[in-house]
Amino acid sequence: MEPVWYYSKDDQGEYYAVYADANNSSSKRKFAADDGRFLNEETGGAGTSFSQAFRPDFRSAHRLGALNKRPNLQDAVRKRRLPDDVLGELRQLKRAIVG
């Protein structure tokens, strides 16, 4: 399944979260909206889709959808930052959807 991106904010600031289902599990990775730095990663339980595992997140988040260019998320986590082109596309989506 294609990863799905969301924009949200909490008491620590604004962020982009990407949710994905793979290998009979699910994951959520958070990146700061201002500079794309990697914040954290969570996994859902075995056999649980991201829509089930992270259901509370979606109440206040804005769905941005999939990106035109699929970034290598493992590489972004390892480098501790999203690539500039990915961050730029996320910002454009946020402006168009959230304002």
| Amino acid 2: pLDDT | 82
Q: What is the pTM of this model?
A: 0.92
pLDDT at 1 over 70: no
**Domain regions of the chain by residue span:** 4-97
Rounded to an integer, the average pLDDT of 52-71 is 91
Cα dihedral: 39, 45, 46, 51 (round 10):
-80
List of residues 6+ apart from 31 with CB closer than 8 A: 15, 16, 17, 18, 37, 38, 39, 76, 81, 82, 87
